[in-house]
Amino acid sequence: MDKESQPSCASAQLARGGAGPYIVPRESWNPRLMAFVKMLFSWWNSATLGTLWTTWTQGSPVGEDAFGNRYYQNKDGSRRWVLYNGTVEASRVPPDWHGWLHHTFAEPPTTAPLRTQPWEAPHLPNLTGTDQAFRPEGSLQRSGQRPAATGDYQAWKPE
């Protein structure tokens, strides 16, 4: 077989059921290496190198919330930030820590806890897109079946 009639590597790989000329993810990647690469190139997976550097050089730990998020401030208290435990999602910050981060409260919740009312529900992060998301009555995602019409609707007809 001459060179021109031989299939290219990409077409041969596609013929064998491969993924084509794209790099196939390896399952044998070192998890620590992948975590480091994710940290370098994506801010939504964890803290960036700049945030970690600032935390290491200028930050003093203030406390930790129930979700495992760690809170820091600089030496004079003018800057405050959070290192999330897991995915970076702002709704995972409880209200007391949110107030402290935005300088609404001078003291962190570790030294001056926010007084909660008995009618307040515990804080939950945004659950949209998860299995625990709210699905109202009649939602197709709740039961998979639409409820029967009740007959209280009259369609408009032009006269």
68 occurs within a structural domain? yes
Averaged pLDDT, 100-123:
92
If you ran DSSP here, which 8-state letter would residue 98 be given?
H
128 occurs within a structural domain? no
58 occurs within a structural domain? yes
| Best-predicted range by mean pLDDT (3-7, 14-18, 20-24, 123-127) | 123-127
Q: What is the pTM of this model?
A: 0.63
Per-residue pLDDT tens for 26-51? Answer: 666 788 887 778 777 777 777 878 88
As beta bridge partners, residue 82 has 71
Averaged pLDDT, 119-132:
88
Give me the pLDDT at residue 11, please.
Answer: 46
Q: Which domain holds residue 99?
A: 43-113
Q: Is the pLDDT of residue 21 over 70?
A: no
Q: Residue 13 half-sphere exposure, CB side, CA atoms within 13 Å? A: 10
Please give the tally of structural domains in the chain: 1
